[in-house]
Structure 1
Protein backbone atom coordinates (compact mmCIF):
# COMPACT_ATOMS: atom_id res chain seq x y z
CA UNK A 1 0.00 0.00 0.00
CA UNK A 2 3.02 2.32 0.25
CA UNK A 3 3.55 5.05 2.82
CA UNK A 4 0.23 6.41 4.10
CA UNK A 5 -0.06 9.70 5.97
CA UNK A 6 -3.46 10.59 7.42
CA UNK A 7 -5.24 13.69 8.69
CA UNK A 8 -8.35 14.86 10.45
CA UNK A 9 -9.95 18.29 10.19
CA UNK A 10 -11.67 20.05 13.07
CA UNK A 11 -13.90 22.99 12.14
CA UNK A 12 -14.65 25.19 15.14
CA UNK A 13 -17.43 27.74 15.43
CA UNK A 14 -21.02 28.29 16.51
CA UNK A 15 -21.59 30.22 13.28
CA UNK A 16 -20.90 27.12 11.19
CA UNK A 17 -23.31 24.96 13.17
CA UNK A 18 -26.04 27.62 13.07
CA UNK A 19 -25.75 27.96 9.31
CA UNK A 20 -24.96 31.67 9.53
CA UNK A 21 -21.55 31.02 7.98
CA UNK A 22 -21.18 28.49 5.17
CA UNK A 23 -17.94 26.52 5.44
CA UNK A 24 -15.57 27.01 2.51
CA UNK A 25 -12.52 25.39 4.06
CA UNK A 26 -13.23 21.66 4.18
CA UNK A 27 -13.24 21.13 0.43
CA UNK A 28 -10.11 23.21 -0.05
CA UNK A 29 -8.20 21.34 2.65
CA UNK A 30 -9.37 17.94 1.36
CA UNK A 31 -8.19 18.66 -2.18
CA UNK A 32 -4.96 20.26 -0.98
CA UNK A 33 -4.04 17.27 1.20
CA UNK A 34 -4.94 14.76 -1.50
CA UNK A 35 -2.69 16.55 -3.96
CA UNK A 36 0.34 16.43 -1.67
CA UNK A 37 -0.13 12.84 -0.51
CA UNK A 38 -2.06 13.06 2.77
CA UNK A 39 -5.33 11.17 3.19
CA UNK A 40 -8.09 13.15 4.89
CA UNK A 41 -9.93 10.54 6.92
CA UNK A 42 -12.34 12.49 9.11
CA UNK A 43 -13.95 15.91 9.55
CA UNK A 44 -15.63 17.12 12.73
CA UNK A 45 -17.47 20.36 13.44
CA UNK A 46 -17.78 21.56 17.02
CA UNK A 47 -19.15 24.63 18.75
CA UNK A 48 -17.13 27.28 20.57
CA UNK A 49 -17.08 25.12 23.67
CA UNK A 50 -13.81 24.37 25.41
CA UNK A 51 -14.63 20.86 26.53
CA UNK A 52 -15.87 19.89 23.07
CA UNK A 53 -12.79 21.31 21.37
CA UNK A 54 -10.43 19.61 23.83
CA UNK A 55 -12.15 16.26 23.39
CA UNK A 56 -12.14 16.52 19.60
CA UNK A 57 -8.50 17.60 19.38
CA UNK A 58 -7.36 14.76 21.61
CA UNK A 59 -9.42 12.17 19.74
CA UNK A 60 -8.19 13.26 16.32
CA UNK A 61 -4.53 13.76 17.19
CA UNK A 62 -4.35 10.26 18.64
CA UNK A 63 -5.93 8.75 15.54
CA UNK A 64 -4.23 10.55 12.65
CA UNK A 65 -0.81 11.79 11.60
CA UNK A 66 -2.01 15.40 11.57
CA UNK A 67 -4.96 17.43 12.81
CA UNK A 68 -5.90 20.68 11.07
CA UNK A 69 -8.23 23.07 12.87
CA UNK A 70 -9.95 26.12 11.40
CA UNK A 71 -11.65 28.96 13.24
CA UNK A 72 -11.64 30.51 16.68
CA UNK A 73 -8.28 32.36 16.72
CA UNK A 74 -9.61 35.91 16.46
CA UNK A 75 -9.85 38.74 19.04
CA UNK A 76 -13.29 38.12 20.56
CA UNK A 77 -14.41 36.34 23.71
CA UNK A 78 -15.61 33.26 21.86
CA UNK A 79 -12.30 32.76 20.05
CA UNK A 80 -11.06 30.04 22.38
CA UNK A 81 -9.25 27.65 20.06
CA UNK A 82 -5.73 28.53 21.22
CA UNK A 83 -6.66 28.10 24.90
CA UNK A 84 -8.48 24.86 24.17
CA UNK A 85 -5.57 23.38 22.20
CA UNK A 86 -3.20 24.34 25.02
CA UNK A 87 -5.46 22.55 27.47
CA UNK A 88 -5.73 19.49 25.22
CA UNK A 89 -1.93 19.21 25.08
CA UNK A 90 -1.55 20.14 28.75
CA UNK A 91 0.71 23.14 28.20
CA UNK A 92 0.55 26.77 29.28
CA UNK A 93 -0.33 29.64 26.94
CA UNK A 94 1.04 33.16 26.81
CA UNK A 95 1.76 36.07 24.49
CA UNK A 96 4.43 35.19 21.94
CA UNK A 97 7.07 37.97 22.02
CA UNK A 98 7.70 37.89 18.26
CA UNK A 99 4.00 38.21 17.51
CA UNK A 100 3.57 41.00 20.05
CA UNK A 101 6.44 42.88 18.41
CA UNK A 102 4.74 42.60 15.02
CA UNK A 103 1.48 43.84 16.50
CA UNK A 104 3.23 46.85 17.99
CA UNK A 105 4.59 47.74 14.56
CA UNK A 106 1.12 47.39 13.03
CA UNK A 107 -0.93 49.12 15.73
CA UNK A 108 0.90 52.32 16.65
CA UNK A 109 -1.98 54.66 17.43
CA UNK A 110 -2.80 55.14 21.14
CA UNK A 111 -5.24 52.48 22.34
CA UNK A 112 -5.18 50.58 19.05
CA UNK A 113 -3.23 47.62 20.42
CA UNK A 114 -5.90 46.74 22.97
CA UNK A 115 -6.49 43.64 25.05
CA UNK A 116 -8.72 42.07 22.39
CA UNK A 117 -6.08 42.32 19.66
CA UNK A 118 -3.38 41.07 22.01
CA UNK A 119 -5.44 37.89 22.49
CA UNK A 120 -4.42 36.92 18.97
CA UNK A 121 -0.75 36.94 20.02
CA UNK A 122 -1.28 34.20 22.60
CA UNK A 123 0.20 30.85 21.57
CA UNK A 124 0.62 27.61 23.56
CA UNK A 125 4.04 26.90 25.02
CA UNK A 126 6.22 25.07 22.51
CA UNK A 127 4.09 26.01 19.50
CA UNK A 128 5.57 27.48 16.33
CA UNK A 129 3.69 30.42 14.75
CA UNK A 130 2.38 30.10 11.21
CA UNK A 131 2.80 33.59 9.86
CA UNK A 132 4.07 35.70 7.01
CA UNK A 133 4.26 39.34 5.99
CA UNK A 134 0.66 39.19 4.80
CA UNK A 135 -0.74 37.37 7.85
CA UNK A 136 -1.14 39.56 10.92
CA UNK A 137 -2.64 37.17 13.47
CA UNK A 138 -0.77 33.86 13.20
CA UNK A 139 -1.90 30.31 13.39
CA UNK A 140 0.44 27.85 15.03
CA UNK A 141 1.63 24.27 15.03
CA UNK A 142 2.19 22.25 18.17
CA UNK A 143 3.05 18.56 17.99
CA UNK A 144 0.83 17.18 15.19
CA UNK A 145 -1.87 19.84 15.57
CA UNK A 146 -1.99 22.66 13.01
CA UNK A 147 -4.22 25.56 14.07
CA UNK A 148 -5.41 27.88 11.29
CA UNK A 149 -7.77 30.78 10.75
CA UNK A 150 -11.38 30.34 9.72
CA UNK A 151 -11.28 33.10 7.08
CA UNK A 152 -10.72 31.13 3.85
CA UNK A 153 -8.11 33.42 2.27
CA UNK A 154 -6.01 33.45 5.46
CA UNK A 155 -6.42 29.72 6.00
CA UNK A 156 -5.25 29.04 2.45
CA UNK A 157 -2.17 31.18 2.96
CA UNK A 158 -1.41 29.26 6.14
CA UNK A 159 -1.74 25.94 4.31
CA UNK A 160 0.85 27.11 1.78
CA UNK A 161 3.21 27.99 4.62
CA UNK A 162 2.85 24.78 6.62
CA UNK A 163 2.61 22.28 3.74
CA UNK A 164 6.36 22.10 3.00
CA UNK A 165 7.00 21.07 6.61
CA UNK A 166 4.63 18.11 6.55
CA UNK A 167 5.48 14.47 6.04
CA UNK A 168 3.61 13.16 3.03
CA UNK A 169 2.90 9.69 1.71
CA UNK A 170 2.33 8.10 -1.66
CA UNK A 171 -0.27 10.09 -3.58
CA UNK A 172 -3.64 8.53 -4.31
CA UNK A 173 -4.12 8.28 -8.07
CA UNK A 174 -7.57 8.37 -9.62
CA UNK A 175 -9.37 7.97 -12.92
CA UNK A 176 -13.04 8.44 -13.72
CA UNK A 177 -15.37 7.31 -16.48
CA UNK A 178 -18.90 8.34 -17.39
CA UNK A 179 -21.17 5.33 -17.12
CA UNK A 180 -24.09 6.48 -19.28
CA UNK A 181 -26.29 4.35 -17.05
CA UNK A 182 -28.16 4.56 -13.78
CA UNK A 183 -26.35 3.71 -10.59
CA UNK A 184 -28.70 0.83 -9.89
CA UNK A 185 -27.82 -0.76 -13.24
CA UNK A 186 -24.21 -1.33 -12.22
CA UNK A 187 -24.49 -1.97 -8.47
CA UNK A 188 -23.92 -5.73 -8.63
CA UNK A 189 -21.16 -5.93 -11.30
CA UNK A 190 -19.35 -2.93 -9.76
CA UNK A 191 -19.29 -4.67 -6.39
CA UNK A 192 -17.80 -7.75 -8.03
CA UNK A 193 -15.07 -5.64 -9.63
CA UNK A 194 -14.33 -3.95 -6.31
CA UNK A 195 -14.01 -7.31 -4.57
CA UNK A 196 -11.69 -8.57 -7.31
CA UNK A 197 -9.41 -5.51 -6.95
CA UNK A 198 -8.93 -5.03 -3.20
CA UNK A 199 -5.99 -2.65 -3.67
CA UNK A 200 -8.26 -0.07 -5.27
CA UNK A 201 -11.17 2.04 -4.07
CA UNK A 202 -14.09 2.18 -6.49
CA UNK A 203 -17.00 4.57 -6.11
CA UNK A 204 -20.08 5.43 -8.13
CA UNK A 205 -21.60 8.90 -8.05
CA UNK A 206 -25.02 9.64 -9.55
CA UNK A 207 -25.75 12.92 -11.33
CA UNK A 208 -28.22 14.38 -13.79
CA UNK A 209 -26.69 14.70 -17.24
CA UNK A 210 -27.11 17.52 -19.75
CA UNK A 211 -30.46 16.05 -20.79
CA UNK A 212 -31.71 15.93 -17.21
CA UNK A 213 -31.51 12.14 -17.14
CA UNK A 214 -29.96 9.99 -14.35
CA UNK A 215 -26.35 9.13 -15.05
CA UNK A 216 -23.40 7.81 -13.11
CA UNK A 217 -19.72 8.63 -12.81
CA UNK A 218 -17.42 5.80 -11.73
CA UNK A 219 -14.17 6.70 -9.99
CA UNK A 220 -11.31 4.27 -9.39
CA UNK A 221 -8.53 5.20 -6.96
CA UNK A 222 -5.26 3.49 -6.06
CA UNK A 223 -1.72 4.34 -5.06
CA UNK A 224 -0.42 1.94 -7.68
CA UNK A 225 -0.82 2.86 -11.35
CA UNK A 226 -0.86 -0.74 -12.54
CA UNK A 227 -3.64 -1.68 -10.11
CA UNK A 228 -5.56 1.42 -11.09
CA UNK A 229 -5.32 0.65 -14.80
CA UNK A 230 -6.36 -2.98 -14.34
CA UNK A 231 -9.41 -2.06 -12.30
CA UNK A 232 -10.45 0.72 -14.65
CA UNK A 233 -10.13 -1.65 -17.62
CA UNK A 234 -12.50 -4.00 -15.82
CA UNK A 235 -14.97 -1.16 -15.22
CA UNK A 236 -14.88 -0.10 -18.86
CA UNK A 237 -15.36 -3.69 -20.02
CA UNK A 238 -18.37 -4.02 -17.72
CA UNK A 239 -19.86 -0.80 -19.07
CA UNK A 240 -19.33 -1.99 -22.64
CA UNK A 241 -21.15 -5.22 -21.86
CA UNK A 242 -23.98 -3.27 -20.25
CA UNK A 243 -24.30 -1.09 -23.33
CA UNK A 244 -24.63 -4.17 -25.53
CA UNK A 245 -27.36 -5.54 -23.25
CA UNK A 246 -29.23 -2.25 -23.39
Structure 2
Protein backbone atom coordinates (compact mmCIF):
# COMPACT_ATOMS: atom_id res chain seq x y z
CA UNK A 1 0.00 0.00 0.00
CA UNK A 2 1.37 3.39 -0.94
CA UNK A 3 1.94 6.17 1.59
CA UNK A 4 -0.70 8.18 -0.23
CA UNK A 5 -3.33 5.46 0.26
CA UNK A 6 -2.37 5.03 3.90
CA UNK A 7 -3.01 8.72 4.48
CA UNK A 8 -6.34 8.57 2.65
CA UNK A 9 -7.54 5.77 4.96
CA UNK A 10 -6.64 7.64 8.15
CA UNK A 11 -10.04 8.58 9.52
CA UNK A 12 -8.61 10.62 12.40
CA UNK A 13 -6.92 12.89 9.84
CA UNK A 14 -9.89 13.13 7.47
CA UNK A 15 -11.41 16.58 6.86
CA UNK A 16 -14.12 17.77 9.22
CA UNK A 17 -17.61 17.75 7.76
CA UNK A 18 -18.01 21.34 9.03
CA UNK A 19 -16.75 24.32 7.04
CA UNK A 20 -15.72 27.87 7.92
CA UNK A 21 -15.80 27.34 11.68
CA UNK A 22 -14.54 30.85 12.33
CA UNK A 23 -17.72 32.25 10.78
CA UNK A 24 -20.12 30.22 12.93
CA UNK A 25 -22.00 31.67 15.90
CA UNK A 26 -21.24 30.32 19.38
CA UNK A 27 -24.62 28.54 19.56
CA UNK A 28 -23.93 26.78 16.24
CA UNK A 29 -20.42 25.80 17.29
CA UNK A 30 -21.42 24.18 20.55
CA UNK A 31 -24.50 22.50 19.03
CA UNK A 32 -22.33 21.03 16.29
CA UNK A 33 -19.71 19.80 18.74
CA UNK A 34 -22.48 18.20 20.79
CA UNK A 35 -23.83 16.47 17.69
CA UNK A 36 -20.40 15.04 16.99
CA UNK A 37 -19.92 13.96 20.61
CA UNK A 38 -23.19 12.02 20.44
CA UNK A 39 -21.50 9.65 17.97
CA UNK A 40 -18.82 8.63 20.46
CA UNK A 41 -20.81 6.29 22.68
CA UNK A 42 -22.15 4.48 19.61
CA UNK A 43 -18.60 3.86 18.39
CA UNK A 44 -17.57 2.62 21.84
CA UNK A 45 -20.62 0.34 21.98
CA UNK A 46 -19.52 -1.35 18.76
CA UNK A 47 -16.14 -2.01 20.40
CA UNK A 48 -17.60 -3.67 23.53
CA UNK A 49 -16.71 -7.23 22.43
CA UNK A 50 -13.08 -6.16 21.95
CA UNK A 51 -13.05 -4.39 25.33
CA UNK A 52 -14.52 -7.46 27.02
CA UNK A 53 -11.91 -9.75 25.48
CA UNK A 54 -9.05 -7.63 26.78
CA UNK A 55 -10.49 -7.25 30.29
CA UNK A 56 -11.14 -10.99 30.62
CA UNK A 57 -7.53 -11.68 29.75
CA UNK A 58 -6.20 -9.07 32.18
CA UNK A 59 -8.24 -10.06 35.25
CA UNK A 60 -6.55 -13.41 35.74
CA UNK A 61 -3.10 -11.90 35.42
CA UNK A 62 -3.83 -9.18 37.95
CA UNK A 63 -5.18 -11.71 40.44
CA UNK A 64 -1.76 -13.35 40.26
CA UNK A 65 0.04 -10.06 40.89
CA UNK A 66 0.24 -8.63 37.39
CA UNK A 67 0.16 -4.94 36.60
CA UNK A 68 -1.20 -2.82 33.75
CA UNK A 69 0.96 -0.32 31.86
CA UNK A 70 -0.44 2.32 29.53
CA UNK A 71 1.71 3.72 26.73
CA UNK A 72 0.74 6.93 24.95
CA UNK A 73 1.85 10.26 23.54
CA UNK A 74 0.16 13.66 23.66
CA UNK A 75 -3.53 13.53 24.55
CA UNK A 76 -3.54 9.73 24.54
CA UNK A 77 -0.62 9.59 26.96
CA UNK A 78 -2.19 12.17 29.27
CA UNK A 79 -5.43 10.19 29.38
CA UNK A 80 -3.55 7.05 30.36
CA UNK A 81 -1.69 8.84 33.15
CA UNK A 82 -4.96 10.41 34.33
CA UNK A 83 -6.77 7.09 34.49
CA UNK A 84 -3.92 5.41 36.36
CA UNK A 85 -3.55 8.29 38.83
CA UNK A 86 -7.22 8.20 39.81
CA UNK A 87 -7.21 4.54 40.91
CA UNK A 88 -5.31 4.80 44.24
CA UNK A 89 -7.63 7.38 45.83
CA UNK A 90 -10.76 5.80 44.36
CA UNK A 91 -10.06 2.16 45.08
CA UNK A 92 -7.28 2.20 47.68
CA UNK A 93 -4.79 0.36 45.46
CA UNK A 94 -1.06 1.13 45.23
CA UNK A 95 0.09 3.48 42.48
CA UNK A 96 2.21 0.63 41.09
CA UNK A 97 -0.80 -1.46 40.05
CA UNK A 98 -1.73 0.57 36.95
CA UNK A 99 1.01 2.81 35.56
CA UNK A 100 0.70 5.40 32.81
CA UNK A 101 3.76 6.15 30.70
CA UNK A 102 3.80 9.12 28.34
CA UNK A 103 6.32 9.87 25.61
CA UNK A 104 8.62 12.60 26.90
CA UNK A 105 8.05 11.77 30.58
CA UNK A 106 6.08 13.69 33.17
CA UNK A 107 7.03 17.06 31.70
CA UNK A 108 4.93 16.09 28.65
CA UNK A 109 1.81 16.14 30.82
CA UNK A 110 1.85 19.94 30.68
CA UNK A 111 4.02 20.76 27.70
CA UNK A 112 4.65 19.01 24.39
CA UNK A 113 8.09 17.40 24.15
CA UNK A 114 9.47 17.67 20.64
CA UNK A 115 9.98 14.37 18.77
CA UNK A 116 9.40 12.26 21.92
CA UNK A 117 6.70 10.15 20.30
CA UNK A 118 8.92 9.32 17.32
CA UNK A 119 11.32 7.07 19.29
CA UNK A 120 10.22 3.42 18.86
CA UNK A 121 12.74 2.13 21.45
CA UNK A 122 12.02 4.41 24.41
CA UNK A 123 8.82 2.79 25.69
CA UNK A 124 10.37 -0.66 26.02
CA UNK A 125 13.36 0.84 27.80
CA UNK A 126 10.99 2.53 30.27
CA UNK A 127 9.07 -0.70 30.79
CA UNK A 128 12.25 -2.64 31.49
CA UNK A 129 13.24 -0.06 34.08
CA UNK A 130 10.05 -1.04 35.92
CA UNK A 131 10.92 -4.76 35.92
CA UNK A 132 8.23 -5.74 33.46
CA UNK A 133 7.26 -9.42 33.64
CA UNK A 134 4.96 -11.91 31.92
CA UNK A 135 2.06 -11.34 34.33
CA UNK A 136 1.94 -7.69 33.26
CA UNK A 137 -0.23 -6.22 30.50
CA UNK A 138 0.78 -3.36 28.20
CA UNK A 139 -1.96 -1.28 26.57
CA UNK A 140 -1.05 1.22 23.88
CA UNK A 141 -3.25 4.28 23.45
CA UNK A 142 -2.96 5.96 20.05
CA UNK A 143 -5.85 7.64 18.26
CA UNK A 144 -4.09 7.42 14.91
CA UNK A 145 -2.66 3.97 15.57
CA UNK A 146 0.66 5.06 14.09
CA UNK A 147 2.66 6.48 17.03
CA UNK A 148 6.19 4.96 16.96
CA UNK A 149 6.71 5.26 20.74
CA UNK A 150 3.56 3.23 21.38
CA UNK A 151 3.93 0.73 18.54
CA UNK A 152 7.55 0.01 19.46
CA UNK A 153 6.65 -0.64 23.08
CA UNK A 154 3.72 -2.89 22.20
CA UNK A 155 5.76 -4.87 19.67
CA UNK A 156 8.61 -5.54 22.13
CA UNK A 157 6.20 -6.38 24.93
CA UNK A 158 4.44 -8.97 22.79
CA UNK A 159 7.72 -10.41 21.58
CA UNK A 160 8.66 -10.92 25.21
CA UNK A 161 5.49 -12.82 26.06
CA UNK A 162 3.39 -10.09 27.68
CA UNK A 163 -0.29 -9.59 27.03
CA UNK A 164 -0.77 -6.53 24.83
CA UNK A 165 -3.78 -4.43 23.93
CA UNK A 166 -4.43 -1.09 22.28
CA UNK A 167 -7.05 1.63 21.99
CA UNK A 168 -7.19 3.34 18.62
CA UNK A 169 -9.67 5.25 16.46
CA UNK A 170 -8.50 4.16 13.01
CA UNK A 171 -9.51 0.81 11.50
CA UNK A 172 -6.75 -1.58 10.45
CA UNK A 173 -4.00 0.56 11.95
CA UNK A 174 -0.43 -0.55 12.56
CA UNK A 175 -0.90 -0.71 16.32
CA UNK A 176 -4.00 -2.91 15.94
CA UNK A 177 -1.92 -5.35 13.89
CA UNK A 178 0.82 -5.44 16.52
CA UNK A 179 -1.36 -5.74 19.65
CA UNK A 180 -2.82 -9.09 20.69
CA UNK A 181 -6.13 -7.56 21.85
CA UNK A 182 -6.88 -4.44 19.80
CA UNK A 183 -9.78 -2.10 20.58
CA UNK A 184 -10.95 0.08 17.70
CA UNK A 185 -13.46 2.86 18.41
CA UNK A 186 -14.11 4.47 15.03
CA UNK A 187 -15.58 7.87 15.88
CA UNK A 188 -15.09 9.46 12.44
CA UNK A 189 -13.48 12.78 11.46
CA UNK A 190 -13.04 15.36 14.18
CA UNK A 191 -14.97 18.64 14.42
CA UNK A 192 -11.64 20.41 13.86
CA UNK A 193 -9.72 18.36 11.31
CA UNK A 194 -7.17 16.11 13.03
CA UNK A 195 -7.85 17.38 16.58
CA UNK A 196 -8.04 14.00 18.29
CA UNK A 197 -8.36 15.61 21.73
CA UNK A 198 -12.06 15.81 20.80
CA UNK A 199 -14.07 12.69 19.85
CA UNK A 200 -11.12 10.31 19.82
CA UNK A 201 -9.99 11.51 23.23
CA UNK A 202 -13.50 11.15 24.62
CA UNK A 203 -13.76 7.60 23.28
CA UNK A 204 -10.40 6.69 24.77
CA UNK A 205 -11.40 8.08 28.17
CA UNK A 206 -14.67 6.13 28.10
CA UNK A 207 -12.84 2.89 27.29
CA UNK A 208 -10.19 3.46 29.95
CA UNK A 209 -12.99 4.04 32.47
CA UNK A 210 -14.55 0.72 31.45
CA UNK A 211 -11.30 -1.20 31.66
CA UNK A 212 -10.10 -0.08 35.07
CA UNK A 213 -13.51 0.21 36.72
CA UNK A 214 -14.32 -3.36 35.69
CA UNK A 215 -10.89 -4.58 36.78
CA UNK A 216 -11.24 -2.97 40.21
CA UNK A 217 -14.68 -4.52 40.68
CA UNK A 218 -13.37 -7.96 39.71
CA UNK A 219 -10.44 -7.51 42.10
CA UNK A 220 -12.85 -6.98 44.97
CA UNK A 221 -12.35 -3.24 45.43
CA UNK A 222 -16.09 -2.47 45.26
CA UNK A 223 -18.90 -3.81 47.46
CA UNK A 224 -22.41 -3.55 46.11
CA UNK A 225 -22.02 -0.28 44.25
CA UNK A 226 -19.75 1.50 46.73
CA UNK A 227 -16.07 2.48 46.77
CA UNK A 228 -15.37 0.75 50.07
CA UNK A 229 -11.59 0.99 49.66
CA UNK A 230 -11.34 4.69 48.79
CA UNK A 231 -8.67 6.77 50.51
CA UNK A 232 -10.06 9.09 53.17
CA UNK A 233 -7.97 12.09 52.23
CA UNK A 234 -10.54 14.88 52.65
CA UNK A 235 -13.67 15.70 54.63
CA UNK A 236 -16.01 14.96 51.73
CA UNK A 237 -14.73 11.39 51.48
CA UNK A 238 -14.88 10.89 55.24
CA UNK A 239 -18.52 11.99 55.17
CA UNK A 240 -19.21 9.67 52.23
CA UNK A 241 -17.57 6.75 54.03
CA UNK A 242 -19.57 7.50 57.17
CA UNK A 243 -22.82 7.38 55.19
CA UNK A 244 -21.80 4.08 53.61
CA UNK A 245 -21.28 2.51 57.02
CA UNK A 246 -24.54 3.91 58.35
CA UNK A 247 -26.43 2.39 55.40
CA UNK A 248 -24.65 -0.95 55.33
CA UNK A 249 -24.46 -1.62 59.08
CA UNK A 250 -27.62 0.21 60.17
CA UNK A 251 -25.73 2.19 62.81
CA UNK A 252 -25.83 5.82 63.92
CA UNK A 253 -23.61 8.51 62.47
CA UNK A 254 -21.30 8.87 65.46
CA UNK A 255 -20.62 5.14 65.65
CA UNK A 256 -20.03 4.97 61.89
CA UNK A 257 -17.59 7.86 61.91
CA UNK A 258 -15.66 6.45 64.88
CA UNK A 259 -15.32 3.09 63.11
CA UNK A 260 -14.17 4.74 59.92
CA UNK A 261 -11.51 6.85 61.61
CA UNK A 262 -10.30 3.91 63.69
CA UNK A 263 -9.88 1.44 60.82
CA UNK A 264 -9.06 3.81 57.96
CA UNK A 265 -11.39 2.44 55.29
CA UNK A 266 -15.02 1.51 54.83
CA UNK A 267 -14.18 -2.11 54.08
CA UNK A 268 -11.96 -2.61 57.12
CA UNK A 269 -14.53 -0.92 59.36
CA UNK A 270 -17.29 -3.16 57.99
CA UNK A 271 -15.20 -6.30 58.41
CA UNK A 272 -14.24 -5.47 61.98
CA UNK A 273 -17.77 -4.50 63.01
CA UNK A 274 -19.23 -7.70 61.55
CA UNK A 275 -16.76 -9.81 63.57
CA UNK A 276 -18.39 -8.61 66.79
TM-score (norm 2): 0.36
Larger radius of gyration: 1
Query: Which protein has greater RCO, CA pairs closer than 8 Å, 6+ apart?
Result: 2
Structure with the bigger percentage of strand: 1
TM-score (norm 1): 0.39
Q: Which has the higher helix share?
A: 2
